[in-house]
Structure 1
């Protein structure tokens, strides 16, 4: 996801403001639930304001997570990321996987009572691909016939390979058969939109709780920007009998100590743990750890004169201790990252994990880094290099940014780094605009295939954002996206492409995220996803 930046790295409010916003009312609700009343209320923490509720424009994990619970696509993700019917009751695959015909349920409704129809999908998909929309995630739809040409303005929208055969039959033609297309339909960019409502709201659409329409298990009932937001059970949802939770309250919190305090006082039901709290809670039955396929790395903007030099980029990628960041600074199950595609994410035709096949890149080697650094400075014609590190303003990001600055300045003579802390949404905008030298970034997968990471860095890709270009890399990615005739050859091409990316030192990997948290024992069946929206609350409940 987000770029799909993960929710661990985001903006927040001060602890004193938070305590005022999260006090007695939420605490009493949680306490009532524990006593066994009929309250089905879940109290949680988020680390950021929601940047957008417009499925065509959202690019981040916070937005996607809220959308995953308030909206619904043709299919959705259940336990173990298995595709389960959403608005579609079923589908038929034709033409050797190049055509899908989805049969939509007739009881799916929008929160204003309108039926959800095939036309809502056609409108939403065309709108996301319309060049005027400027959707960064438009590229995720390029598997649909003519989607890329429509997005480039080379073909009119009516040439897109999607049509409403009738109100409850949607036909989709693909450029090539892909094994993960049904999973893609669970991703927010593929959600439907109500054309009449979107046009009525105009520029306000998706910016407030009451300027957004919902067709999922919950509705966004309250949205206090930069403070809190709330979901309530959606009475018009077709499967609302399955939904047990009546209300989910989110308060925006950055400081882990404050979050833990809220948990200990029963004001929230789940709290993430930073390194200093892990040892305290690891013997507690409420303590849990998971590792997910979310990668954190530094973008190296090649528009900068120094970073345009490959040796300088390589030196930076090798000059800091990745294991120290994972094991000491984070201490939450994270591991050092030595590639782009995460460990234990996807396996190839030979059943081997991608990371195992591809190996390790950018391993810490200070002596080699220093040789490359000196050579790079000589080639650029400078003795000193000054770089700005664009960073999020939350607790973990600050620690990591300071650590990277200390390590790089110590190990690379003549380097000076200044850190620019920014709130979540502003940081994303600066990165999208290319207004940075180094940027500490994160990416979680959108669907179960290495391509969800790899196609970020094609020349002029909407998520490239750092001036990187390699024709051989582009060709390998294009081949892997369009030719599924030999899956082993496709896999080999993706492995080769990743090698090129690190031969060019396009990015500097930092760590793969682990999550340590505590969760009340009465909270049941919150489903954690490896790709797409982070959580599903449709099946969650409070055990009385």
Structure 2
């Protein structure tokens, strides 16, 4: 997800080295100062105006798999915990929790002053309903089983229809005590509870709405800092301060307006005319605005890579995949095409995300660069592939996004790949929602794909590629790889050093040996921010930004 799924399809999603940053507010995202109002007593209009590159596919937290929905679900709902400073958790609906000695039973104490926007109290029953719904096979959630299977007791059996919903390891001890039983000790479970899949749902409201639930603003309930009041599909949406929010005193913004704009030049023009307060810059605008005091570059633990569908006979060939890995000039790609601070991809784990539990050395530094650009060697692998496949030419479909930035990058990648003798690439640029559907159905040969963390742990990047994993969608299957990931999650769960070593080995197998993916880059975002926007936190996972503490100071 940060979808979350994080199908980060060049639409602008999130960033930073993952020390949560803030713009102009207190240090390290501290709470807003009392000077968010003008000294003279006249109030500053607390309205934030933004653009996004695509429509929200859905606001149904059971079904969402992308970063755009993750952003606005995280802005309108509180889960057990929220993301706080430096990627740490802070209280949401849970005030605190305790964990049993064996690490399997988590008991969350819930606040009794949280309400839904229809006036109903937020209770433990709302979490039971939502978590059960996320693994209900009749609902068809992609992320529920992905996040819960093997973590929450009986989740896998429930999601496969082998057990009833009430067998899931969740329980409302009383209205304000929520109990979760895990399959095994899970080091990152507290971090997981901030994720969109685990947000509560008001059962009565959801059932009343039926098929219309989460389809329009009026078919939604909020229990978070903001509530959605307008949603004009394809055009934009508005969220307003939720006056019934349990922590409403901390929320300074009255309204956030978001307009869907796919063209960077149009978005920059809106920024220049003060119609919006933030804009993401494509490469041609970066040099023009680099010297501006409004200019910012955010690094983030988000990676992009080419997925290669091994159901395609050509891409089932290891030499073909290695040729694709090696033919791409990543340095020119980030310096010229992106030109936004992004860095060449070196593996499946971003830099500055997780470090060795003993030495403290960064994961990326330990494993180093697992891919190289070598056109001559790429051609050798390609010739071998053609010999093994008994072909002279090959045609592959390339699934990409329909935004300006996506089209530019995908055109560059097409040219790079077509250096391989006899290879023709057909670009298929589609809207964000269509791309999600086609990826889920494996209706692609090569896909430009992005992933950001769902929780702060190496597992969030590496368990994607286990056999038949919910987000694998490549056809890759390796007993050795599966064993490494399973062992890290089972017998090594409470042995942090050995567990980390398993992840290091798994990444080498995935990228260097089996060439499942072709790493492209680790994302950064070049942006312009109005200097009067204060205290917006940037998150390492889940919602890209936290607007709860933001304010306007003019």
Same fold (TM over 0.5): yes
Q: Which moved more, 1:132-141 or 1:315-324?
A: 132-141
Structure 2 residue aligned with 1:55: 61
Cα separation, 1, equivalents of 2:12 and 2:285:
20
- After TM superposition, the structure 1 = structure 2 runs for residues 89-100 of structure 1, keeping only pairs within 5 Å, are 89-100=95-106
Structure 1 residue aligned with 2:215: 207
- After TM superposition, the structure 1 = structure 2 runs for residues 111-130 of structure 1, keeping only pairs within 5 Å, are 111-130=117-136
Cα separation, 2, equivalents of 1:38 and 1:293:
35
Cα separation, 2, equivalents of 1:250 and 1:158:
39
Greater relative CO, 1 or 2 (CA 8 Å, sep 6+): 2
Structure 2 residue aligned with 1:436: 444
Q: Which runs of 5+ in 2 are unaligned?
A: 14-36
How far apart are residue 100 of structure 1 and its match?
1.1
Cα separation, 2, equivalents of 1:45 and 1:165:
43
Structure 1 residue aligned with 2:483: 475
Flag the 1:4–1:250 CA change in 2: closer, same or farther, 3 A.
same
- After TM superposition, the structure 1 = structure 2 runs for residues 30-41 of structure 1, keeping only pairs within 5 Å, are 37-41=43-47
Does the aligned pair in 1 maintain the 2:114–2:245 contact within 8 Å? yes
Residue 186 of structure 2 aligns to a residue whose secondary structure is coil
Matched, 1:465 2:473: yes
How far apart are residue 10 of structure 1 and its match?
7.1
Aligned-pair RMSD on alpha carbons?
1.6
State the number of aligned residues. 523
Structure 2 residue aligned with 1:81: 87
Structure 2 residue aligned with 1:16: none
Cα separation, 2, equivalents of 1:357 and 1:481:
21
TM-score by length of structure 1 reads 0.94
Structure 2 residue aligned with 1:154: 162
Cα separation, 2, equivalents of 1:157 and 1:481:
24
Does the aligned pair in 2 maintain the 1:72–1:216 contact within 8 Å? yes
- After TM superposition, the structure 1 = structure 2 runs for residues 375-394 of structure 1, keeping only pairs within 5 Å, are 375-394=384-403
Cα separation, 1, equivalents of 2:133 and 2:273:
46
Flag the 1:266–1:203 CA change in 2: closer, same or farther, 3 A.
same
How far apart are residue 153 of structure 1 and its match?
2.1
Q: Which runs of 4+ in 1 moved over 3 A?
A: 32-38
How far apart are residue 34 of structure 1 and its match?
13
How far apart are residue 150 of structure 1 and its match?
1.5
Does the aligned pair in 1 maintain the 2:281–2:528 contact within 8 Å? yes
Matched, 1:178 2:186: yes
Does the aligned pair in 2 maintain the 1:10–1:424 contact within 8 Å? no
Structure 2 residue aligned with 1:519: 529
Does the aligned pair in 2 maintain the 1:72–1:86 contact within 8 Å? yes
Matched, 1:414 2:410: no
Structure 2 residue aligned with 1:449: 457
Residue 131 of structure 1 aligns to a residue whose secondary structure is coil
Structure 2 residue aligned with 1:272: 280
Flag the 1:39–1:7 CA change in 2: closer, same or farther, 3 A.
farther
Structure 2 residue aligned with 1:534: 544
Cα separation, 2, equivalents of 1:201 and 1:169:
27
Q: Which moved more, 1:334-343 or 1:136-145?
A: 136-145
Structure 2 residue aligned with 1:109: 115
Cα separation, 1, equivalents of 2:316 and 2:43:
62
Matched, 1:225 2:227: no
Cα separation, 2, equivalents of 1:85 and 1:428:
32
Q: Deviations over 1:290-314 (max 9, x none)?
A: 1001111111001111111110011
Does the aligned pair in 2 maintain the 1:243–1:540 contact within 8 Å? yes
How far apart are residue 33 of structure 1 and its match?
9.8
Structure 2 residue aligned with 1:67: 73
Structure 1 residue aligned with 2:24: none
Cα separation, 1, equivalents of 2:444 and 2:477:
18
Does the aligned pair in 2 maintain the 1:299–1:506 contact within 8 Å? yes
